[in-house]
Structure 1
Amino acid sequence: MAFFLSLLLILFFPSSNAGYWPPSPGYYPSTKFRSVTFYQGFRNLWGPGHQILDNNALSIWLDRTSGSGFKSVRPFRSGYFGASIKLQPGYTAGVITAFYLSNNEAHPGYHDEVDIEFLGTTFGKPYTLQTNVYIRGSGDGRIIGREMKFHLWFDPTQGFHHYAILWRPNEIIFLVDDVPIRRYPRKSVATFPLRPMWVYGSIWDASSWATEDGKYKADYRYQPFVGMYNNFKASGCSAYAPAWCRPISASPFRSGGLTRGQHMAMRWVQSHYLVYNYCRDPKRDHSLTPECWG
């Protein structure tokens, strides 16, 4: 009898704490692509004195003097881009640890970007994983973000978890440990990034907005703030690949999209752990984000 009462409590009063796990997606795209060593695929971009590579595990850190970042050797026009990441526990307010696609150096003032960003936090509060898409300059002063923010069903400071972006000409899919958490379909040329992008990772001070809209700032009494990366994956069609290079899929379907099991897992995550959706924000000007309406 006690067992059935416990089961009912779990079913009808699920815990809001980390550890309430999503259903299996049934397909695991990270297993389809081989890992690359850091120097096979990437180079330091800035803050070389705040970056250490040890047995293909990269640590980058932020202190009062500098942060650090890295960049892929090649640009891509589609592909699967992932890394296993472990975040710093404790007070990390104001600090962004990121893994993303961008062409901001090739198109300054008019760039595209696809982000996975971990927004630092205060004691006792969970990290927020922010996904975002900028298109042709919408991140360059004329901010038109397409943010969806999530809490996670695990503690990202206790071990490495795999975070990935699958970018095709018709969709962008964000994945955590092979569970799709967001699919951003191409609904028009105006609302989708199509120019080649590089893969980046970085850690930096974003005190003006990162934690509760800037309420809590980076506190360098807790420095250094460290992000750890390994199991790098960057597979797909580079900008230099022949025209016949076929875009990679996040599902068994060569045309892209998600399986029924992947859709179910994504809906589960969004129903339990989604904490912000730009399309549902009444303070936003949705004439600037027409993809929300169709």
Structure 2
Amino acid sequence: MLPSPGYYPSLKFRPVRFYHGFTNLWGSQHQRVSSDQSSVSIWLDKNSGSGFKSIRAFRNGYFSTSIKLQRGYTAGVITAFYLSNNEAHPGFHDEVDMEFLGTTPWEPYTLQTNVYVRGSGDGRIIGREMKFHLWFDPTSAFHNYAILWNRREIIFFVDDVPIRRFVRWSPATFPQRPMWVYGSIWDASSWATDDGKYRADYRFQPFVARFTRFVAGGCTAFSPPWCRAAPSSPSGFGLSPRQSAAMRWAQSRSLVYDYCRDPTRDNSLTPECRQRRRPF
């Protein structure tokens, strides 16, 4: 049985209407905003995918949306909600990802979480992936997905249950520059499903992702120094004992890949895997 985390950050923030917080980034003809701006549908077909971006950049905050994914054959298709500053720092950017890797009808969706720091996809470090098969069907209803980022940690939430906590072990391995919030759908056939074994099949187009309940609460790049980061727990930072128990439950039930436990990876450049030093 799903344990209660005891703390619900999604209830601490009021959703914003789409155009009050976001704008189209690409594929405008593959994006439809509801009349009340409470939701947006984006889709991929053989001509294009689509994406949107927050109007403001943030230096910390709580960022969430509720997503409903498409059922059936979606191999090769990525539906993503993420933070990035790639447009400001091309080739040397930071990124925090929640990506749904498309699937075949007989397999579950994979939720991939990842953290890139200063362009760490440079061949030395591919990324810091942790992958999950969630405890529910993400195509049957909307579920809330969130990233909380402050100067000490990044926490990934699913329906307010923390599924991953990435601690700042050193300044070199933690994103500190302002980032924007993004949502997108695109073709990643070369790697998304079983390392490219199953590719996007456009006989099943369009591939549609639905987003609603947009939250981007935090300190923008231009907020005054006294602006406080969004709290991750009742104490402010870290996770409470109940949240930690909920995360252990989620990982024991749903975690299917952890880069720190991959024997083929060289983790000498990922000090957080050793966890021998105190966080900054």
Q: Alignment partner of 2:172: what SS?
A: helix
The count of aligned residue pairs is 273
Find the aligned partners of 2:75 and 2:7 in 1 and give their Cα distance: 35
The answer for the alignment partner of 1:237 in structure 2 is: 219
1:223 aligns to 2:205 (yes or no): yes
- 1:49-198 correspondence runs (5 A): 49-54=29-34, 55=36, 56-139=38-121, 143-198=125-180
* 1:285 CA drift (Å): 1.0
- 1:40 to 2:17 alignment: no
Q: Does 1:29 align with 2:27?
A: no
Identity of aligned residues (%): 72
Deviation of 1:94 after TM superposition, in Å, equals 0.4
Aligned to 2:181: 199
TM score, norm. by length of structure 1? 0.91
Q: Give, in whole Å, the separation in 1 of the partners of 2:157 and 2:220.
A: 21
Q: Which residue of 2 aligns with 1:282?
A: 263
- Structure 1 runs of 4+ with >4 Å offset: 140-143
Is this contact kept in 1: 2:125–2:269, CA < 8 A? no
Kindly state the Cα deviation for residue 142 of structure 1 after the two structures are TM-superposed. Answer: 5.3
Q: Which amino acid aligns with 1:270?
A: Q
Give me the whole-angstrom Cα distance separating, in 1, the residues matched to 2:122 and 2:45: 26
Under a length normalisation based on structure 2, what TM-score does the superposition of the two structures give? 0.96
Distance 2:2 2:133 in 1: 13
Q: What's the Cα RMSD here?
A: 0.9
**Once the two structures are superposed, what CA deviation does each residue of 1:78-118 show, in whole Å capped at 9, x if it has no partner?**
00000000000000000000000000000001000000000
Letter in 2 for 1:285: D
Asked if 1:292 corresponds to 2:277, the answer is no
Unmatched 5+ stretches in structure 1: 1-20
Q: Which residue of 2 aligns with 1:214?
A: 196
- Identify the residue that residue 10 of structure 1 maps to in structure 2: none
Q: Does the 8 A contact of 1:69 with 1:202 survive in 2?
A: yes
Superposition deviation, residue 271 in structure 1: 0.7
SS of 1:195's partner is coil
Deviation at 1:44, TM superposition (A): 0.1
* Structure 2: runs of 5+ lacking an equivalent: 276-280
1:108 and 1:286 map into 2 onto residues whose CA distance is 25
Amino acid at match of 1:126: P
